[in-house]
């Protein structure tokens, strides 16, 4: 899988609702009402990650979850990143 060039990234950014670009990665942070709810969300994300065999960085700090998405082996963003972001965005966060 090849790394996207700048034009390819810019064309896909509108589909990455809620995510911010930080150089060669996309980042999103969620706040949850409790640690338990944050961990429930992380476990749902972990299921998607295992299914796709694509492993972003997940940082948990009590009720805050931050995901840093990038394809490490190519050093940037690829179709896999945007596909996984779309799946993560489908996880309900308001339960």
Q: Sketch the domain layout of the chain as residue ranges.
A: 6-89
| Percent of the chain whose predicted confidence (pLDDT) is above 70 | 99
Q: What is the dotted CATH code of the domain comprising 6-89?
A: 3.30.1360.20
For the stretch 48-64, pLDDT in tens is 999 998 999 999 999 99
- Predicted confidence (pLDDT) at residue 40 exceeds the cutoff of 80: yes
- pLDDT for 95 equals 63
Side-by-side strand order, sheet with 57-61: 20-22, 25-31, 64-69, 57-61
**Predicted TM-score of the model (pTM):** 0.93
For the stretch 75-93, pLDDT in tens is 999 999 999 999 999 999 9
Distances 86 to 25, 36, 61 between C-alpha atoms, Å: 15, 24, 23
Bridge partners for 71 per DSSP? 76
């Amino acid at each position: 899988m090849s790394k996207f060039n700048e034009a390819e990234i810019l064309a896909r950014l509108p589909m990455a609702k809620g995510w911010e670009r930080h150089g060669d990665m996309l980042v999103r942070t969620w706040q949850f009402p409790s640690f338990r709810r944050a961990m429930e969300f992380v476990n749902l994300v972990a299921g998607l990650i295992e299914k796709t065999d694509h492993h972003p960085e997940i940082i948990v700090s009590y009720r805050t979850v931050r995901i840093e998405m990038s394809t490490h082996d190519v050093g940037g963003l690829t179709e896999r990143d945007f596909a996984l972001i779309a799946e993560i965005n489908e996880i309900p966060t308001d339960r």
